[in-house]
Amino acid sequence: MAHTLSIAGAVHTAISLVPIAVGIYCFCRYTVINPNTRIGWIYLASLVLSVLTSFSVSSTGSLNPAHVFGVIVLGVAFAGVFVLRFSFLGKARPYLSAFALTFSFFLSLVPGTNETLTRLPVSHPVAEAPMAPVILSTLMVLFALFVAGYIAQCWFIYGNAKKRVSI
């Protein structure tokens, strides 16, 4: 039987949907999450809020591995912001930034996928446990999309850099 959401869980879930929606918007509209834009900062701020609100939700009543995972997601995302400042990385900076921010998006889908498939539909959830084959298969598909998406981003970044040089 599925576990019901507490009020804190419902708030956390609602807030956690924001970086997912913003990330999808950024990928569709701009190909990358650009931390130098307003929408990029909305992604980052909502990701921070999502992780912060996760600390109010715990099945054990204390810090658990999911909270640590959230902090890792934030670390990856902000690495994507700060890598742009390291001039010694040269032309690799936009590629590394895109990788980190896209990877943070992928990582944020992991707990969301797990929670969604173990809770919905309420009467008979799709998966019974976090390591259920359907969850692992879904995460593998999402990982494949991440890899394909990052390759497309690299092609886009390269194409834009080439246009700037030839003009």
DSSP state letter for 87: G
Size of the chain in residues: 167
The confidence band for 167, taking pLDDT boundaries of 50, 70 and 90, is very low
pLDDT in tens, 122-151: 889 999 998 999 999 999 999 999 999 999
In terms of Cβ atoms closer than 10 Å to its own Cβ (0-12, 13-18, 19+), residue 48 is: middle
The string of DSSP codes covering 112-128 is HHHHHHHHSSTTS-S-S
What is the domain partition of the chain in residue ranges?
7-166
In terms of Cβ atoms closer than 10 Å to its own Cβ (0-12, 13-18, 19+), residue 55 is: middle
Give the pLDDT of residue 160. 87
Least confident of 7-16, 23-32, 60-69, 82-91: 60-69
pLDDT in tens, 73-121: 999 999 999 999 999 999 999 999 999 999 999 999 999 999 999 988 9
Q: Token pair of 55, please? A: 């600390």
